[in-house]
Structure 1
Amino acid sequence: MLSNLYNWTMRLADHPRALWVLALVSFMESSFFPIPPDVMMIPMILARPSRAWLIAGVALIASVLGGLLGYAIGAFAFEQIGQPILTSLGKADAVAEFNTRFNDFGFWAVLGAGITPFPFKVITIMSGWTGMPLGVFVTTAIIARAFRFFLVAALLWKFGAPIRDFIERRLGLMTTLFFVLLIGGFLLVRYI
C-alpha cells in the first residue's frame, strides 16, 4: 500500500496543478499522510529549477498549516483521531513516557522532526496533546520546515539531477547526524 501511495504522489508531481497538489500533500503529511512532500518537490524542482524557491515556499506554508491541524488533533481529539494515527505508525507504546518528558524538550523535538525523516505528524499531534505552547510550536515548525524544504530546493537548484540520489537516500541521515551532534554539543557544554 505504501508503494502505491508513493507512486501516486510521484505521478501528481507532473500534474498541471502540481503546486496545489504539493500544498495538499504537504498539509496532509504534517497531520496524517505517510508520504513526505519531498517526493513531489524533487521532480518538480528538477523539471523547473527557476521555481525552486516557490515550490519550497508552498511546501513550507502548507506543512506548517497542516502541523496546526496535527496540533489540534492532539489537543482536541487525541483519543478519537491522534491515538489511532500514532498506533498505525507504531508509536503508541511510547506515548505515556513521551508525554512526561516532551515539553521539556519540545522545541528540540519539533525542530528535529521537522528537519529529519522522523514523521512530523507524530510531533505535531504530540505537541497538541502535551499542551506545548502554540507560539513555540509554530515558530519551531516554521524554522524546521523552512530549513528542510529550502535546503532541498537549494541543493536541487544548484546541482540539479546529480544531487537527487543524495537527497533521496542520504539527506535524512546527514541531517539526523547533524542534529545529534548539535544536541550532543549543547549537552556537553551544559554538563562540563
Structure 2
Amino acid sequence: MQIFKPLYERAILWARHPRAPALLTGLSFVEAIIFPVMPEVMLAPMCVANPRKSLWFATLSLMGSMAGALVGYALGHYAFEALKPLFAALGMLDGIEAGIDLVKAKMAESPWAVFTFLVLGGFMPIPMKVFTWASGIVGVPMLQYVLSMLIGRGKRVYLLGIAIRLGGARAEAALRRWIEPVGWIATALVVALVGWLIWRAST
C-alpha cells in the first residue's frame, strides 16, 4: 500500500500554487509552536518544483520557524501550566516533559551546553516545538536559545535547499523513486526518537 507517493504528488501540485511561499512560512511558524507536521514536508516539494528558488524557500521557512520559536518560548515560559491539559489531550505532553528533563540536565552543566544540545537537536527529526516549549519552561538564556534555533533549524532547511538546487532534475527523480521507503524510515525514526526521549526522562 502506497501512502507517501500520492501525498508527494499532491504536495508537488500545492508547491506550484502562487501562495505556496506564504503557506510555507505559516506552516514553519505554526510547527514551531504546536503543529505536528514538519515544514520540510512542504519545503522539499517546493524546492523540487522550482530549484532556482530553493534557497529563498529555505529562508522563508527559517524566518517562519524563528518567529514561531520565539512565540513557543514565551508560551512555554508563561503559559505551560495552564495549557497542560491541552497537550495531554493532543498526546504531546509526554514528549514535551521528556524534553524539559533533558534541557534541565544540560542547563545544570552550563548555558552553552544547552546551546550545543539544541543545535544538535535541531538536526534530528524531532518536532521543533518540543525544544521551543521546553526551553521556555526551563528558562534557557535568550542568546543561547536564539542562536541554537537559528543554527539548528537553519542547517536543516538550507542543506535540503542546497541539495535539491544542485541536484535539479536528478534530485526530483530520486525523491520520486524513493519517497515511499524514505517516508516510512522517517516515520520510524520519529517514533523511535520520541520513545527514547520518554524512556530517558523516566530513568
TM range (shorter): 0.7 to 0.9
CA contact (8 A) 2:72 2:129 kept: yes
Residue aligned with 2:95, SS:
coil
Whole-angstrom CA distance in 1 between matches of 2:118 and 2:182? 22
Residue aligned with 2:29, SS:
helix
Q: Which amino acid aligns with 2:123?
A: I
**Runs of 5+ consecutive residues of structure 1 not aligned to the other structure:** 174-192
Which structure is richer in relative contact order (CA contacts within 8 A, separation 6 or more)?
2
Q: How many residues align?
A: 169
CA-atom RMSD, angstroms? 3.0
Q: What residue is the counterpart of 1:75 in the other structure?
A: 77
Q: What residue is the counterpart of 2:201 in the other structure?
A: none
Which stretch shifts more, 75-84 or 86-95? Answer: 86-95
Aligned counterparts, 1:37-186, within 5 A: 37-81=39-83, 84-85=86-87, 88-89=91-92, 90-91=94-95, 94=98, 97-98=101-102, 100-103=104-107, 104=109, 105-159=113-167, 160-164=171-175, 165=178, 168-169=182-183
- Once the two structures are TM-superposed, the CA of residue 93 in structure 1 deviates from its matched residue by 5.4
Whole-angstrom CA distance in 1 between matches of 2:100 and 2:64? 29
Whole-angstrom CA distance in 2 between matches of 1:45 and 1:80? 39
Whole-angstrom CA distance in 2 between matches of 1:92 and 1:171? 20
TM normalised by structure 2 equals 0.71
Deviations 1:106-158 (A, max 9, x none): 21332123111011100000000000001110011111111000000011111
Q: Which amino acid aligns with 2:148?
A: T
Whole-angstrom CA distance in 2 between matches of 1:156 and 1:95? 31
* Identical pairs, percent: 29
TM normalised by structure 1 equals 0.75
